[in-house]
Amino acid sequence: KETRGKKPNKFKEFIKKHKILVWIVVLILLFAISLGGTLLYFNLTEPKEIAIPNLSGKTAEEAEIILSKMGILIEYADEEYNKEVEAGKIISQEPPYKQNYNIKEGSTIKVVISKGAELTTMPKVIGMTKDEAIQELKAYNLKANIVEETSQEVQEGYITKQDIEPDTTIDAGETVTIY
């Protein structure tokens, strides 16, 4: 049918004849657009995966610089005495460093900082009983290695000498030989 010189619009006629098909196509397009938008949103807002750095042996300042460049936060969990790691350097971290192990950008790494070797002063234990000397060494965070010797000048069970001079600064936890 032609009316007043207008050509029939084939697109409009197709839509009128196939309403259900048109609605299906519209719904599929809406679904595809919303799915694409959702995926785009999550890809843009999802934090990046970053290889976890090894912070052991680094100073707190070095670790802060490394982590800030990577977008990772640092938390100081504790300070501990450690003979092997000098004071001010990191002993351990959580999560621990593992090759090919990733964490998300914005995550937090907890670190333990070394206080260095714990030092103590060697007490004078000469003249004490063996049990008193052991207790005194424990109070100074020292261990006792007891060597039995016979003496005609000192009664049995008393300490006659010690291998480290009194008032000497030594590492806590060391074993001291007493006679």
Q: For residue 4, what pLDDT is reported?
A: 60
148 touches 95 (CB < 8 A): no
- Beta-carbon contacts of residue 17 (< 8 Å; ≥ 6 apart): none
Q: For residue 167, what pLDDT is reported?
A: 96
**Mean pLDDT in consecutive groups of 10 residues from the start of the chain, 179 residues:** 63 80 90 90 82 95 95 95 94 94 94 95 94 96 92 84 95 93
Q: For residue 163, what pLDDT is reported?
A: 95
Separation of alpha carbons 131 and 5, rounded Å: 122
114 touches 144 (CB < 8 A): no
Exposure of 2 by Cβ count < 10 A (0-12 exposed, 13-18 middle, 19+ buried)? Answer: exposed
- Beta-carbon contacts of residue 55 (< 8 Å; ≥ 6 apart): 63, 66, 67, 90, 93, 97, 109, 111
> Any bridge partners for residue 121, and if so which?
169
Tokens of 55: 């912070």
Q: For residue 1, what pLDDT is reported?
A: 47
